[in-house]
Amino acid sequence: MDNFGLYIVMTNPLLGYETFTEICVQEEVPMLQIRDKHLSDKELLNLCKRLKAITEGSKTRFIVDDRPDICLLTKADGLHLGQDDLPWKEVLPFLPTNTLLGVSTHNLKQAKELMESITAQKNLQKPDYFSFGPIYPTVAKEKPDPAIGVEDLKTVLNLSPIPVVAIGGLFPENLPNVLAVGAQNMAFIRHFTLSRETAELKAKIREMKSLLKEAQK
């Protein structure tokens, strides 16, 4: 998988899931993940079906967090697994060929273990990308992991055989420090989901895509 740039994680967006997704599709956000820990299984399934219908045929890939079953039932474009979710090696063989798989890592030890498992067996199916963070302190999770900073991110970027997504506490004001160590893929949560107006969200997406594009030159 090639680097893709902007990755947005939706957790209770103020604009609502459907409106938020529609705007992301209009603005051609490459990767859009739903992460909601509080919906019932039925509610999550029905919501993901609606969101997948919105992204269908667009340039926006719809990613389901944590739930292989929901991913398969909704024919989502991808699945993202955390450290406490089902092991990616056991899930991957059951995913359709074109389904993307991402894995979370929260420190240098976890990232190195993942990278070693990928390179040790060259013919082994592997994740398409993995996230690394939180880079900066974040309140996006109820029990956030310790912030790790950009130096460990730089180490991981230099070692990884697959795309790395920087995540955690990222905002325009600290983005230059992350870009400076070579990051090309960024995941954002609050910066976008706290948007109260559609025009505000569109402007933020356009600004971020422009910043990432400029950094890749």
DSSP 35: -
Nearest CA-CA partner of 83 in 23, 138, 130: 130
* Residues 95-137: tens digit of each pLDDT: 999 999 999 999 999 999 999 998 886 667 899 999 999 999 9
* pLDDT on residue 139: 74
Quick check: 45 and 12 in contact, CB under 8 A? no
Nearest CA-CA partner of 167 in 182, 153, 154: 153
- Which residues, other chains included, contact 11 with Cβ-Cβ below 8 Å and sequence gap of 6+? 35, 36, 140, 189, 193
Which one-letter amino acid corresponds to residue 136?
Y
End-to-end CA distance of the chain: 19
* pLDDT on residue 123: 63
* pLDDT on residue 216: 73
The model's pTM is: 0.95
Nearest CA-CA partner of 20 in 30, 10, 28: 10
Return d(Cα 177, Cα 182) in angstroms, integer. 9
- Which residues, other chains included, contact 211 with Cβ-Cβ below 8 Å and sequence gap of 6+? 172, 175, 179
Q: Which residues of 172-197 are buried (b: 16+ CB within 10 A; e: fewer)?
A: eeebeebbebebbbbbbbebbbebee
* pLDDT on residue 4: 94
How confident is the prediction for the chain on average, in pLDDT? 94
Return d(Cα 140, Cα 29) in angstroms, integer. 20
* Residues 38-84: tens digit of each pLDDT: 999 999 999 999 999 999 999 999 999 999 999 999 999 999 999 99
Return d(Cα 52, Cα 72) in angstroms, integer. 12
Q: What is the mean pLDDT of residues 85-89?
A: 94
Domains of the chain (ranges; CATH) run 6-215 (3.20.20.70)
Nearest CA-CA partner of 165 in 190, 187, 191: 187
Quick check: 11 and 191 in contact, CB under 8 A? no
Whether 144 has a pLDDT exceeding 80, the answer reads no
Phi, psi for 98 (deg, rounded to 5): -90, 10
Task: Identify the band that residue 85 occupies on the pLDDT scale cut at 50, 70 and 90.
Answer: very high
* Residues 152-208: tens digit of each pLDDT: 999 999 999 999 999 999 999 999 999 999 999 999 999 999 999 999 999 999 999
